[in-house]
Amino acid sequence: MGSVAFSCRSLGESCEWALVAPTEAEVLARAAEHLKCAHHVPDLSGELRTRLTAAIRPT
């Protein structure tokens, strides 16, 4: 199994935060935590979740 990567900049944020995780579910969980802490996004709404999922890339 490979891993997947996500960078906050792909959401249009001027933010250098990025992560690599073994599964898309883990990326979503950790990205949700980062968005809450760093960008004051309380939860992943439908539209944001869709954009986030689309921004996840295989490494």
Build a one-symbol-per-residue string for 1-40: x at contacts with Zn ion by CB under 5 A, - elsewhere: -------x----x-x-x--------------------x--
| Minimal distance, residue 6 CB to Zn ion, in Å | 10
Residue (13 or 24) nearer to Zn ion, CB: 13
3-state secondary structure of 58: strand
Q: Which run of H or E residues covers position 43? A: none
Q: Which of 21, 6, 11 is nearest to 47 (CA)?
A: 11
Residue with tokens 């997947």: 4
| Minimal distance, residue 38 CB to Zn ion, in Å | 5
